[in-house]
Amino acid sequence: MKSLLLQILFPIQGDRLLADTTKRIIKEHRNKSQDRVYLKIVDLKIDRHLNNPFFNTCQENLFMKYKRILVTGGAGFLGSHLCDRLIDQGHDVLCLDNLFTGSKDNIRHLIANPHFEFIRHDIIHPIYLEVDEIYNLACPASPVHYQYNPIKTIKTSVMGAINTLGLAKRVKATILQASTSEVYGDPEMHPQKEEYWGRVNPIGIRSCYDEGKRAAECLMMDYHRQNGVRVKIVRIFNTYGPRMAEGDGRVISNFILQALKGQDITIYGDGTQTRSFCYVDDLVEGMMRMMATSDEVHGPVNLGNPCEFTIIELAETIIRLTGSQSKIIHTPLPQDDPKQRQPDITCAKRLLDWEPKIHLEEGLSKTIHYFQTTYGG
């Protein structure tokens, strides 16, 4: 049976209005086929509700509040899943995106929701909104996309960070920056801990992304030190799942599509390079836990799955799970392709009580199902 924790802020409402609003919200969530609703109420004068017969029928009384939350890059792969989770929790979500790599298809199911708003905007330009929290995800994330217009990529990271930090400063919002394992470059330390400063080529073809993200981390900490902005930095390792873009060139979407179409599976190099793949639901949970940490927690915190696989192992697993007849071929390794990548998630375990739950085969099966139903094959 599925359950939902419903969290409600009632600062001033009277009992009657409170009960009516709560009933409406519970009904809305039940309509989304949740079987069981747990109720959390935040009220500075909570005592006055404890004798209310309506609340006695609810299974739990706890405490929390709704927020107005901006997700930049919200129409992208990770952003759209994050919007889903925030909406499910009852928050008001402003999804900002210029649709460069994102798509309205990723958020189509949310458009009619009164708690969801789509804003078409390029984050290299300032924006004025009233929000409590900002998740800054806007940035193309796959090498194919971020190398398409590298100057725009670094502008998006740097100007995007400046604009979202300026907004956070003005409205006193907490901001979470979606950084990346790419800040470690081609690492000498394995697995990578947050203390490691990385080995990034500052002038290579990946630099627009890597250095842009490093500059964004720097800006986060400078706005915190200089202006007291509440910042949170997560370094995301390779994440996969439904809604990855078809042509983004990332290894999991490439291999699944090639396998489903019976095309050759293209391994770049000898395939002994490693990556650690995290399923999107686990990742989103980690981001939300990071946002919920107390003010003195800034990170950076690694978020990723520590189970490491070679690219050959990944190809073989996808061929087996799809039952494909595809053959593996080897093509040249792209420049500056990191040889290994595996997060040390000790910090996330300690600070967020978080670790990934979804095993690679389970996550791949869900992702294969998505590509099968969305693109055929």
Contact residues: ligand NAD, CB under 6 A: 72-73, 75-79, 97-102, 122-124, 137-141, 145, 156, 178, 180, 236, 238-239, 245
Q: Which residues is 8 bridged to in the sheet?
A: 41
Decide whether 292 or 329 has the Cβ nearer to ligand UDP: 329
Between CA 125 and CA 211 the distance in angstroms is 20
Between CA 59 and CA 155 the distance in angstroms is 49
Residue 268 touches which of ligand UDP, ligand NAD, none (Cβ within 5-8 Å per kind): ligand UDP
Between CA 139 and CA 287 the distance in angstroms is 16
Residue 254 touches which of ligand NAD, ligand UDP, none (Cβ within 5-8 Å per kind): ligand UDP
Q: What is the contact surface with ligand UDP in residues (CB under 6 A)?
A: 142-143, 238, 249-251, 254, 266-268, 273, 275, 311, 333-334, 337
Decide whether 92 or 97 has the Cβ nearer to ligand NAD: 97
Angle between helices 360-375 and 251-261 (to 10 degrees): 60
Cβ of residue 106: shortest distance to ligand NAD, in angstroms? 8
Cβ of residue 257: shortest distance to ligand UDP, in angstroms? 10
Between CA 256 and CA 375 the distance in angstroms is 11
Supply the DSSP symbol for 175.
E
Residue pair 186/211 in contact (Cβ under 8 Å)? The answer is no
Cβ of residue 72: shortest distance to ligand NAD, in angstroms? 6
Cβ of residue 274: shortest distance to ligand UDP, in angstroms? 8
Between CA 317 and CA 315 the distance in angstroms is 5
Residue 266 touches which of ligand UDP, ligand NAD, none (Cβ within 5-8 Å per kind): ligand UDP
Residue 311 touches which of ligand UDP, ligand NAD, none (Cβ within 5-8 Å per kind): ligand UDP
Decide whether 27 or 104 has the Cβ nearer to ligand NAD: 104
Question: Which residues are designated catalytic?
Answer: 209
Decide whether 143 or 299 has the Cβ nearer to ligand UDP: 143
Decide whether 249 or 377 has the Cβ nearer to ligand UDP: 249
Between CA 278 and CA 140 the distance in angstroms is 18
Between CA 258 and CA 267 the distance in angstroms is 11
Supply the DSSP symbol for 242.
T
User: CB-based burial of residue 309 (10 Å sphere; 0-12 exposed, 13-18 middle, 19+ buried)?
Assistant: middle
Cβ of residue 140: shortest distance to ligand NAD, in angstroms? 5
Count of Cβ atoms closer than 10 Å to residue 3 Cβ: 11
Residue 134 touches which of ligand NAD, ligand UDP, none (Cβ within 5-8 Å per kind): none
